[in-house]
């Protein structure tokens, strides 16, 4: 299908989502048409991962141009370096998420960005055991459908916060908390992240339902 969703926000963030329905050869052709060498993805052994990487590359080209380079810090966090024709190279934060159906990115000014995407067909009960704190378990619904939506959003929110903060050895159940909420098709969430020095940061988040997926990103 191609570009599924795109939105630019007043804070300078921009989100784009690609629905991966193409054959590998079709995505490779899109990359080639934009001036990229499809061979740069060949070292990725897993076919699905190659599709995801190519879809992300296409999304970056849509938002910027083919001279915008995806680079990675020592901890694996991606960021963008803008076009070589600009007088000065500009850095922009980047966060990436994908499932078998979608690839999505969020870009932001500065050096922090965090997004996650999850398919609702996944069994999130394991998430409840390993990633939820006592405060979150209290407000989970007894209704199975609502509980699944809550678990999906909590997990997405914590993954997005984890990417945003980019710290090692984070305890999802103790260092991150999502305030009580009732799941809608889109809305806002309030998250907190407790750093190892004891400082607690408030991280506002937004979410949006994309058919059978939830997407959550840090808006801070």
How far the first Cα of the chain sits from its last, in Å, is 31
Mean pLDDT of 65-70: 80
Q: For residues 64 and 56, is the Cβ–Cβ distance under 8 A?
A: no
Window from 6-15, 83-92, 95-104, 186-195 with minimum mean pLDDT: 83-92
Dihedral angle of Cα 83, 42, 104, 82, to the nearest 10 degrees: -10
Q: Could you give the dihedral angle defined by the CA atoms of residues 80, 84, 89 and 93, in that order, rounded to the nearest 10 degrees?
A: -10
Average pLDDT of the segment spanning 87-98? 78
pLDDT exceeds cutoff 50 at 87: no
102 membership: H or E segment, kind and range = strand 102-108
What span, in angstroms and rounded, lies between the C-alpha atoms of 46 and 173? Answer: 31
The set of residues, in sequence order, having a beta carbon less than 8 Å from that of 109 and lying 6+ positions away, is 11, 12, 13, 92, 93
Shortest CA distance to 160 belongs to which of 195, 189, 130?
189
The 10s digit of each residue's pLDDT in 152-209 is 999 999 999 999 999 989 999 999 999 999 999 999 999 999 998 889 999 999 999 9
Indicate the burial class of 84 (C-beta count within 10 angstroms; 0-12, 13-18, 19 or more). Answer: exposed
Structure tokens at 127: 């998430």
pLDDT band at 1 (very low <50, low <70, confident <90, very high): low
pLDDT top residue among 86 and 29: 29
For the chain, the residue count is 220
The answer to whether residue 126 scores a pLDDT higher than 90 is no
- Gap between the Cα atoms of 103 and 109, Å rounded: 21
Is residue 95 within 8 A of residue 78, CB to CB? The reply is yes
pLDDT at residue number 166: 92
Tell me which of 11-20, 58-67, 88-97, 103-112 is least confident: 88-97
């Amino acid at each position: 299908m191609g570009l599924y969703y795109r939105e630019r926000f007043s804070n300078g963030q921009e989100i784009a989502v690609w629905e991966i329905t193409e054959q590998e050869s079709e995505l490779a052709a899109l990359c080639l048409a934009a001036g990229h060498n499809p061979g740069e993805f060949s070292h990725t052994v897993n076919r699905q991962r190659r599709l995801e990487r190519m879809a992300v590359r296409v999304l970056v080209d849509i938002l910027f141009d083919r001279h915008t380079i995806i680079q990675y810090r020592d901890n694996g966090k991606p960021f963008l370096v803008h076009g070589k024709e600009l007088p000065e190279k500009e850095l922009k934060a980047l966060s990436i998420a994908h499932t078998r159906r979608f690839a999505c990115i969020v870009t932001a000014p500065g050096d922090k960005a965090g997004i996650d995407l999850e398919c609702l067909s996944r069994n999130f009960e394991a998430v409840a055991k390993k990633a939820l704190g006592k405060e979150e378990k209290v407000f989970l619904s007894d209704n199975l459908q609502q509980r699944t939506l809550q678990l999906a959003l909590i997990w997405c929110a914590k993954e997005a916060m984890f990417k945003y903060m980019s710290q090692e050895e984070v305890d999802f159940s103790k260092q991150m908390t999502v305030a009580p909420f009732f799941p809608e098709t889109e809305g806002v969430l309030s998250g907190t992240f407790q750093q190892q020095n004891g400082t607690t940061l408030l991280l506002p988040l937004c979410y949006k339902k994309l058919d059978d997926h939830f997407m959550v990103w840090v808006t801070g």
